[in-house]
């Protein structure tokens, strides 16, 4: 669930489910083999798929990425990488390039709608910690990963390859792919990994189109990229968040106009993500944006005072696949789970999925683990979502905190009265 101008994701019904039993373990690797030749197919050339392919290829594992699109995604989408994600980017050998194009945020704060400072975190106290949070729009990370991947002899990326069906048996897994020309091809592998996003075709084929258990928030989010710099045709006043004392990341707490404003580049581009009530269509949400900015941003800017680079309304979900392994098929990142993006746990959690799956596959490749380790991957990563990502993204860093109504603590308000009567 990251901002883009594409169609909004499908809304899924909320229902309970019984977790799938473990898929029977495939035959163990014969102990006297040190290294086994394995072939990997990854569906999805987003950052998760590219990162996994790069990690595997550096170990000499043959990997093919299939993607239905014509090229890499050009939308900025998510931006902030927490320390666990930075560690994986470092392991892939790309963190220096990421920081050269992005930056390390210095401060995060929480404010009232009138810009009153409430509290904050000074990240500079971490000094030169190698795993400090790093900021770079996801499309730029994709370009970096792709560049590094092209240098690997055992990797290939095939665009205009849309997966239309899939299957497996005891020896292999396969996908059937449609090309833009109408030609059909079949790709076989030891393992096939779905890194194809929240609307994953791989997951849908495994569990059904609507089998993505969880919930949908009542609120909708509208993600925008707004610049304080003018476009080529703008000659009026520049709009600048920094003149209002805004830090690199700002969470504004208000019952009606809660939002996040975060610097996402070194050239004046900011991500502004705010909430809207349920019931509005996509077109209506886009039409409401100018008034929302005027009502909630410092300085109450009009449309001639900023450049809107992107706008993307979307629904917010908390969802987790029934399993992240079904035989020779595996899921990672948004294909396996999605969450409220406030706080960046969806992006960080997805990258950590990739790191864990890489370790498991390398263990199999090097004869250090049997294929049942892939059950452990599914168990551990699903537990991390349920115990960490879901509750924190829902409560501690999420929508419920940002829209808190402090007026209930006014003298005579319900929470004031409850406190004095306790």
Closest CA to 361 of 323, 332, 389: 332
User: Residue 2 has what pLDDT?
Assistant: 42
Q: How would you classify the pairing of strands 62-66 and 39-43?
A: parallel
For tokens 């940002």, name the residue. Answer: 402
Q: Tell me the average confidence (pLDDT) per consecutive run of 10 residues in the chain, 422 residues long.
A: 38 34 37 58 98 98 97 90 96 97 94 93 89 94 98 97 96 95 95 98 96 90 74 37 92 90 86 90 95 95 87 92 98 96 89 96 93 95 95 69 65 77 72
- What is the DSSP secondary-structure string of 209-233? TT---EEEEEEEEEEEEEESS--TT
Contact predicate 166/192, CB 8 Å? yes
SS3 249: strand
User: Residue 265 has what pLDDT?
Assistant: 85
Q: How many CB atoms lie within 10 A of CB 387?
A: 10
Residue 221 tokens read as 């989010």
Closest CA to 390 of 295, 319, 330: 319
User: Residue 229 has what pLDDT?
Assistant: 47
User: Residue 11 has what pLDDT?
Assistant: 41
User: Residue 25 has what pLDDT?
Assistant: 39
User: Residue 410 has what pLDDT?
Assistant: 66
Torsions phi, psi for 392 (to 5 deg) = -70, -45
Q: Residues near 235 by Cβ (< 8 Å), separated by ≥ 6?
A: none
Spans of all domains in the chain: 39-104+133-214+318-402, 216-316
User: Residue 237 has what pLDDT?
Assistant: 27
pLDDT tens digit sequence for 118-169: 999 999 888 889 999 999 999 999 999 999 999 999 999 999 999 999 999 9
Rounded Cα distance between 314 and 10, Å, is 10
pLDDT tens digit sequence for 368-389: 999 999 999 999 999 999 999 9
Rounded Cα distance between 337 and 203, Å, is 10
Give the predicted TM-score (pTM) of the model: 0.84
**The Cα angle at residue 276 between residues 198 and 15, in degrees rounded to 5:** 45
User: Residue 419 has what pLDDT?
Assistant: 77
CATH topology of domain 39-104+133-214+318-402: FAD/NAD(P)-binding domain (3.50.50)
Rounded Cα distance between 13 and 408, Å, is 33
Segments in 113-230 forming alpha helices (H): 138-150, 201-207
User: Residue 268 has what pLDDT?
Assistant: 80
Contact predicate 315/339, CB 8 Å? no
Q: Residues near 361 by Cβ (< 8 Å), separated by ≥ 6?
A: 38, 40, 56, 61, 191
């Amino acid at each position: 669930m990251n901002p883009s101008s594409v169609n909004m994701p499908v809304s899924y019904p909320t229902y309970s489910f019984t977790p799938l039993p473990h898929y029977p373990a495939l035959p163990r690797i014969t102990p006297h083999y040190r290294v086994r030749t394995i072939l990997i197919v990854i569906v999805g050339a987003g950052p998760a798929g590219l990162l996994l392919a790069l990690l595997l290829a550096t170990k000499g594992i043959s990997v093919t990425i299939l993607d239905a699109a014509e090229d890499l995604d050009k939308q900025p989408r998510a931006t902030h990488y927490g320390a666990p994600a930075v560690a994986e980017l470092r392991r892939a050998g790309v963190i220096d390039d990421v920081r050269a194009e992005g930056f390390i945020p210095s401060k995060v704060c929480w404010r009232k709608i009138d810009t009153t400072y409430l509290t904050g975190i000074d990240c500079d106290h971490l000094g030169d910690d190698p795993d400090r949070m790093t900021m770079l729009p996801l499309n730029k990370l994709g370009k970096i990963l792709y560049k590094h991947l092209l240098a690997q002899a055992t990797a290939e990326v095939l665009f205009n390859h849309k997966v239309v069906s899939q299957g497996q048996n005891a020896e292999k897994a396969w996908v059937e792919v449609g090309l833009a020309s109408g030609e059909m091809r079949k790709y076989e592998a030891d393992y096939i990994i779905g890194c194809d996003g929240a609307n994953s075709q791989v997951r849908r084929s495994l569990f059904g189109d609507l089998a993505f258990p969880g919930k949908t928030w009542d609120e909708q989010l509208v993600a925008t990229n707004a610049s304080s710099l003018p476009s080529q045709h703008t000659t009026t006043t520049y709009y600048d968040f920094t003149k209002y004392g805004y830090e690199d990341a700002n969470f504004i707490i208000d019952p009606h106009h809660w939002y996040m404003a975060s610097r996402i580049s070194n050239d004046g581009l900011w991500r502004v993500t705010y909430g809207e009530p349920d019931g509005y269509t996509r077109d209506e949400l886009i039409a409401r944006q100018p008034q929302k900015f005027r009502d909630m941003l410092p300085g109450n800017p009009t449309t001639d005072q900023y450049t809107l680079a992107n706008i993307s309304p979307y629904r917010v979900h908390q969802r987790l696949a029934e399993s992240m392994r079904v035989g020779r098929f595996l899921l990672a990142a948004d294909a396996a789970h999605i969450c409220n993006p406030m706080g960046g746990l969806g992006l960080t959690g997805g990258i950590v999925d990739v790191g864990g799956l890489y370790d498991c596959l390398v263990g199999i490749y090097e004869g250090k683990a049997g294929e049942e380790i892939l059950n452990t991957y599914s168990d551990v990563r699903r537990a991390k979502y349920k115990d960490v990502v879901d509750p924190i993204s829902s409560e501690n860093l999420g929508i419920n905190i940002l829209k808190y109504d402090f007026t209930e603590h006014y003298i005579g308000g319900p929470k004031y009265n409850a406190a004095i009567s306790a």
